[in-house]
Amino acid sequence: MWKARNSLCFNGGTYEPNDIVNKALIDLHEYDDVVKNSAVVNPIPNKIYDVTITLTRDGVVVFTDAGLQREKEKASIGMVAIDSCGYLLCAFGTPIQFVGKAVIVEALAIREAVERALQKGWSKVHILQKYLITSWEIETICEDVWRLMKSF
């Protein structure tokens, strides 16, 4: 998803949601091959990297992302879920109604991911998102997410 977003931002390239999900699946399999066949090399000596997420046996990690094209008034959201063993559970991407602000689209991606996790009956869900800015503009969406999280 990030590659598609960066391609749009820096090169003007666009991708359909299905293309993004398919690319994510290819990248997942490539990552699995690299992890199984090589040792991790630390690029900066004496720097400790914590790249692991500790999950219980039935835990799920959901990665979310969103894209926004202001000039074309288009927006899309996506998610990829893996279990505690790294197996793909779900991949989803879709265009959504244009909302105009990236922070809102990112929050909508999180809400969609939480709703899908509930529908699938997953418990112990970890949502990972790259967007760090919080805003009053997404307060209502955040309230929806917090309400949904009480269902776990």
70 located within any domain: yes
Give me the CATH number covering residue 112: 3.30.420.10
Considering the entire predicted model, what is its pTM? 0.58
49 located within any domain: no
Give the domain extent around 8.
Answer: 2-36+54-149
Q: What is the pLDDT of residues 77-115, one digit of tens each?
A: 999 999 888 888 999 888 998 888 888 888 899 999 999
117 located within any domain: yes
Sign of CA dihedral 111, 117, 123, 128: negative
89 located within any domain: yes
Residue 46: is it exposed, middle or buried by C-beta count within 10 angstroms (0-12/13-18/19+)?
A: exposed
Task: Read off the pLDDT of each residue in 30-57 and give the average, rounded to a whole number.
Answer: 54
Question: Does residue 147 register a pLDDT over 80?
Answer: yes
Q: How many structural domains are present in the chain? A: 1
